[in-house]
């Protein structure tokens, strides 16, 4: 704020000095001296002070020199203000929030630690839109911005921050904040704002995992136990785990996807054999019914119902076709 008031205060001080100086030199009224100080400072110069003695001339020359200096200084400071990093950060933040406001079907990553960064890298490799939320502004440095990732600096447990991140239009949210308490608050806030949102949370133990599930998390992951289980699978079934690892690696053009059947989808009421999914290059691995029943593998005469979750395997184009088929309504 001081930078904004510095120049006006200098100009006011200069006018005061000019008024007092001319009053002492010419003996005119303070109003006339203030008037002449104003026209001298603005270089209008419609008339000269009377009497115009040698002392008055010297004072006016010094006064005008100071005025030019103040105007030049003000111009330089104004230019610095325009290029100031604070202003740039403000403009960038507004642009970022505008871009985030246009997102839909995106993911929200709460917490940008080691796990959060890995999550973002994976989503980027899969060309999925996402927004990062963290309350540490130092994380969003030049290196971060060079990646062109969208972000918000704030407390992810606050409703206002989640709303700015587009939680009501998001496809899913994951919270990997440092403490279980923070992750629990995020889960609770996100679930209250969006009852149907897919929420994945990190927990450090089974007790925290149970509380997050009760708060509304769709799935809770314990990195230690999950890592141990995966290591055991590597020992028991190394070929299968290698297959899954290749499917998840960067640069591979096929993936395992989980897509939900919308309520008004054109496929609702059809049997799998009638959908033509196989012709689109999709291999359907299984279906989870809205009731929770899991069918692996699904038979051809299985009836598709709204709310079903399809586990499909195929390349990115095939998965995109499946998503388009599901989103197509019967009216279309």
Per-residue pLDDT reduced to its tens digit, 219-233: 999 888 877 877 787
Domain boundaries, the chain: 2-82, 87-221, 253-327
**Rounded CA separation 269/277 (Å):** 15
* pLDDT level of residue 208 (50, 70, 90 thresholds): very high
Top-confidence range, 128-137, 239-248, 259-268: 128-137
Residue 261 reports pLDDT greater than 80: yes
Domain 87-221 shares a fold with domain 253-327? no
Start-end of H helices in the chain: 2-26, 30-41, 54-82, 85-101, 114-125, 142-145, 159-164, 180-193, 206-215, 223-236, 238-248, 316-327
- Threshold 0.85, pTM exceeds: no
Residue 112 reports pLDDT greater than 90: yes
CATH architecture, range 87-221: 3-Layer(aba) Sandwich (3.40)
Q: What is the pLDDT of residue 166?
A: 94
CATH architecture, range 253-327: 2-Layer Sandwich (3.30)
For residues 282 and 165, the model is more confident at 165
**Rounded CA separation 281/263 (Å):** 24
Q: What is the pLDDT of residue 137?
A: 87
Top-confidence range, 62-76, 170-184, 253-267: 170-184
Residue 82 reports pLDDT greater than 80: no
| Topology of the domain covering 2-82 | Helix Hairpins (1.10.287)
Residue 331 reports pLDDT greater than 70: no
Cis amide leading into 297 (omega within 30): yes
What's the rounded mean pLDDT across residues 248-274?
Answer: 78
């Amino acid at each position: 704020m001081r930078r904004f008031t510095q120049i006006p205060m200098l100009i006011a001080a200069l006018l005061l000095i000019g008024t007092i100086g001319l009053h002492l030199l010419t003996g005119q009224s303070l109003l006339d001296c203030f008037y002449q100080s104003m026209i001298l400072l603005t270089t209008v110069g419609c008339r000269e002070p009377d009497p115009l003695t040698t002392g008055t001339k010297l004072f006016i020359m010094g006064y005008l020199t100071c005025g030019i200096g103040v105007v030049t200084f003000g111009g330089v400071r104004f230019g610095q203000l325009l290029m100031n990093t604070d202003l740039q950060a403000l403009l960038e933040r507004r642009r970022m929030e505008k871009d985030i406001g246009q997102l839909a079907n995106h993911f929200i990553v709460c917490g940008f630690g080691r796990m959060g960064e890995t999550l973002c890298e994976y989503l980027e490799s899969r060309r999925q839109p996402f927004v990062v939320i963290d309350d540490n502004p130092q994380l969003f440095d030049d290196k971060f911005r060079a990646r062109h990732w969208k972000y918000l600096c704030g407390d992810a447990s606050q409703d206002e921050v989640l709303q700015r991140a587009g939680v009501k239009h998001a496809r899913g949210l994951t919270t990997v904040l440092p403490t279980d308490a923070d992750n629990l608050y995020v889960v609770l806030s996100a679930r209250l704002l969006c009852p149907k949102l897919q929420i994945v949370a990190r927990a450090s133990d089974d007790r925290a995992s149970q509380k997050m599930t009760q708060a509304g998390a769709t799935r809770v992951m314990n990195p230690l136990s999950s890592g141990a289980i995966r290591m055991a699978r590597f020992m028991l079934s190394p070929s299968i785990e290698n297959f899954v690892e290749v499917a998840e690696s960067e640069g591979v053009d096929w993936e395992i996807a989980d897509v939900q059947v919308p309520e008004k989808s054109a496929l609702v009421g059809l049997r799998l054999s009638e959908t033509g999914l196989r012709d689109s290059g999709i291999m359907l691995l299984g279906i989870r019914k809205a009731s929770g029943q899991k069918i692996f593998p699904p038979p051809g005469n299985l009836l598709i119902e709204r709310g079903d979750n399809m586990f499909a395997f195929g390349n990115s184009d095939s998965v995109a076709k499946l998503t388009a088929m599901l989103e197509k309504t019967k009216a279309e």
